[in-house]
Amino acid sequence: MDSLWESLPDAFEQAYYILEEKQKILQQAQTEREQILKQAQQEARQIKNQSGIIQEAQQEAYQIQAETEQHCQQLHEKTLQEIEKLRQQAYSECEELRRDADQYADWVLNSLEERLGEMLHVTQNGRKALKESQEPERPKRKAPKRKAS
């Protein structure tokens, strides 16, 4: 037993050393596990952030597309309204030109009618005078009164 007692301190020392080594290994494993876990969580956050950024970019792209389509639709409608306004304005101007042209044509035809009437009157008077100058003179009778033209 004596030798047992004597070997006990060495055995305790050796057991204590083994326990310390075990604790160091466990501590090192725990530290590595925490680092790996921390790195995995950080990578997961990065992936999530990247995924969120991609989703935000897609949402922003959809929003920009919708706004662009809406703006194009508004421009299209505005253009159609302006075209209709210009068409109506052109139609009104054409109608006004037609009325002005009709009035001018009426004025020209009226002037021509008056001149032709005067020329007809002059022609009729000239023919009458010619006829009278060609007839032999008859005894003068009282001629009926003529209306002045």
- Residue 131: inside a domain, yes or no? no
Residue 7 has a pLDDT of 65
Q: Report residue 4 as tokens.
A: 């047992």
Fill in the DSSP letter of residue 135. S
- Rounded distance, CA 115 to CA 122, Å? 10
Q: In which domain, by residue range, is 75 found?
A: 16-125
Quick one: DSSP state of residue 141?
Answer: -
Let me know if residue 87 belongs to a domain. Answer: yes
pLDDT per residue, tens digit, the chain (149 aa), is 566 556 666 777 787 888 888 899 999 999 999 999 999 988 888 887 777 788 888 899 999 999 999 999 999 999 999 999 999 999 999 999 999 999 999 999 999 999 999 999 999 999 999 998 887 666 555 656 666 55
Asked if residue 53 is part of any domain, the answer here is yes
One-letter amino acid for residue 141 of the chain? R
> Is 4 part of a structural domain of the chain?
no
| Number of domains forming the structure of the chain | 1
Is residue 7 domain-resident?
no
| 57 class by beta-carbon count within 10 Å (0-12 exposed, 13-18 middle, 19+ buried) | exposed
Residue 138 lies in a domain: no
Alpha carbon distances (Å) from 15 to 2, 11, 22, 114: 20, 6, 10, 145
Structure tokens, 71:
């703006």
